[in-house]
Amino acid sequence: MPQAFSRQLPAPTSYKVIYSFGYGKASDGDDPVADLIVRGGKFYGTTQFGGKTNGRCYLGCGTVFTMSSAGVERVLYRFKGGTDGAAPAAGLIALDGAFFGTTSGGGAGSQCAGGCGTVFEVSADGKSEKILHSFSGGSDGATPVATLVAFRGFLYGATEYGGLTKGSCFSGCGTIFSVSTTGTEKIIYRFKGGKDGAQPVAPLSATAGVLYGTTQYGGLTTGLCSTGCGTIFRLSASGEKKTLYRFTYAARSKDGAYPAAGLLAMHRELYGTTIGGGLLGDGVVFKVNESSGAETVVHRFSCCVTTLDGAFPFARLADVNGTIYGTTRAGGAANAGAVFAIDSAGTESVLYSFQGHPDGAQPQARVTLLSGVLYGTTTGGGSAAEGSVFRLAP
């Protein structure tokens, strides 16, 4: 896909906010930052805040919820904070009739203020929840913000902090871990910072028998990336790691910087986004060859100056019949974020510009396809300005 310019399309008449979090509903969720998943024709997801408010969580400790395509929502579980976990920033994975996920805070770990995070299991009906693992910080991980992935009989994930403490990684450079559904956890890899990469915040992708992922920082330092522009890596189940690509954002290169999203595997290429770099620092869409590590910038976002393009794509990309769909947290006509598409020729189009309250605003999650319609969440906006779920027919 060659570099292409953005074009703004008319807002689809089928766009609709189907649910506003917190609107007229006590103890509802707030701030859905993670992807939705579909099981049995229903959506399941998490909210980072909302739910139970207590001395540990003045904004609420977060929720697990389910929703129909018509926008009928039900909270399955409200986190309690403390040893129970709090602030689920990651999405869910369905396995063996239950849902598994992580909380970025809470848990029994004492080396982190407010807890180092947990791995949890919630039953499909929400009536039972248990903590499978509490991160302890230090050489163990801390602050798991990425959605888990099933790989070779285990759940694999990443922690933003913990692991090795060196260089600029005062709280640890982050880890990759595995955990069984019975709660046995193992650190697979501890990032070293510098050229090795630091702060993995995105979900891993499992393809061709290995794992691929990104680190938001580390790699190569440039005048525009004092802590490193970020990396793409390959990792075996036993922890053998290879850095495939180090981003090189600089005044002349126009490369991306700071990949905060997971990767999409298509045709032996890994597609992803960065929240910085490019033409104006608004981020890029890129692809990297799985084998050689050769990188190509597919699209450079150019928000708010001469176009109505998006900016700061935090979310994973989605493939729908060869067209790539994504979201940006900012940019668009109202600078409240956008939904975009990139066709097989590499041409990017803005499908919808969020308008902010009472419309949605600041999407950070991947769009999800159900019955030919795209669904997604926004972290802000909605009738209560606490986030929304929307539908959009591409």
Q: What is the pTM of this model?
A: 0.94
Cα–Cα dist 11/5, whole Å: 19
DSSP-assigned letter for residue 179: E
- Terminal C-alpha separation, the chain: 20
| All domains of the chain in start order, with CATH | 6-392 (2.120.10.30)
Q: Which two tokens stand for residue 254?
A: 């126009």
- Sign of the alpha-carbon dihedral angle for 324, 315, 13, 70: positive
Beta strand pairing call for 6-8 and 348-353: parallel
Helix ranges restricted to H, the chain: none
* Helix, coil or strand: residue 84: helix
Q: What is the phi-psi region of residue 90: left when phi exceeds 0, alpha when psi lies from -120 to 50, beta otherwise? A: beta
Beta strand pairing call for 310-311 and 276-277: unpaired
Specify the DSSP element, H or E, that contains 353. Answer: strand 348-353
Per-residue pLDDT of the chain (394 residues; tens, 9 = 90+): 434 334 444 445 499 999 999 977 879 999 999 999 999 999 999 999 999 888 788 899 999 999 999 999 999 999 999 999 999 999 999 999 999 999 999 999 888 989 999 999 999 999 999 999 999 999 999 999 999 999 999 999 999 999 988 767 889 999 999 999 999 999 999 999 999 999 999 999 999 899 999 999 999 998 899 999 999 999 999 999 999 999 999 878 899 999 999 999 999 999 999 999 999 899 999 999 999 999 999 999 998 766 789 999 999 999 999 999 999 999 999 999 999 999 988 899 999 999 999 999 999 999 999 999 999 999 999 999 999 999 999 7
